[in-house]
């Protein structure tokens, strides 16, 4: 009788360990998304194009913004707004959770659009008007 129980006990232990490892692996690789407690998150973006880009820089900024905000939580501004210093700013409401913010910023800086390059100048949980000085130039986030 003991010989029959030993393999069954070993099988039960192996299955239990495999189930626990599976649950932990799922938790470690699952994307949770989410939002932060702040009401809004603003991104200031510098967009550069090459002469081969036949559209305006506004079109380049719009393309980057739409491509990168399509898969995040929250409600992004439909188009980034161009400021006097040539940067673009857009807001997402409510603000993003830290992991979602990292994904968005990585996308904006790494997205490959022909002849278009983005660089994040600022990203923080502040309204757009607080991120520009009187001359409409982007300033650093104050958090």
d(CA 108, CA 20): 37
Query: Higher pLDDT residue, 7 or 142?
Result: 7
Does the pLDDT value for residue 53 go beyond 70?
Answer: yes
- Coil/strand/helix, residue 136: coil
Put residue 128 in one of left, alpha, beta given phi > 0 → left and psi -120 to 50 → alpha. Answer: alpha
Does the pLDDT value for residue 142 go beyond 80?
Answer: no
Query: Higher pLDDT residue, 35 or 107?
Result: 107
Check: CB of residue 57 under 8 Å from CB of residue 47: yes
State the pLDDT at residue 58.
92
d(CA 117, CA 64): 9
State the pLDDT at residue 38.
81
Q: What is the DSSP string of 19-85?
A: HHHHHHHHHHH-----B-SSS-EEEEEEEEE-TT--S-HHHHHHHHHHHHHTTSSSEE-SSPEE-TT
Query: Higher pLDDT residue, 136 or 97?
Result: 97
What digits encode the pLDDT tens for the residues 74-120? 888 888 999 988 899 999 988 888 888 899 999 998 887 888 999 99
State the chain's mean pLDDT as an integer.
80
Check: CB of residue 79 under 8 Å from CB of residue 65: yes
Find the range with the poorest average confidence among 53-62, 70-79, 121-130, 132-141.
Answer: 132-141
State the pLDDT at residue 135.
78
Q: pTM of the prediction?
A: 0.70
Does the pLDDT value for residue 71 go beyond 90?
Answer: no
């Amino acid at each position: 009788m003991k010989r029959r129980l030993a393999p069954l006990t070993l099988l039960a232990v192996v299955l239990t360990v495999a189930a626990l490892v599976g649950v932990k692996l799922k938790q470690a690789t699952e994307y949770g998304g989410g939002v932060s407690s702040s009401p809004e998150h603003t991104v200031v973006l510098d967009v550069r194009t090459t002469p081969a880009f036949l559209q305006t820089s506004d079109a380049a900024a719009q393309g980057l913004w739409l491509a990168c905000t399509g898969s995040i939580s929250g409600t992004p501004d439909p188009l980034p707004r161009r400021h006097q210093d040539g940067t673009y700013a857009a807001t997402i409401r409510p603000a993003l959770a830290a992991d979602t913010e990292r994904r968005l910023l990585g996308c904006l800086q790494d997205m490959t659009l022909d002849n278009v390059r983005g660089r994040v100048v600022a990203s923080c949980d502040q309204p757009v008007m607080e991120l520009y000085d009187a001359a409409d130039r982007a300033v650093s986030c104050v958090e």
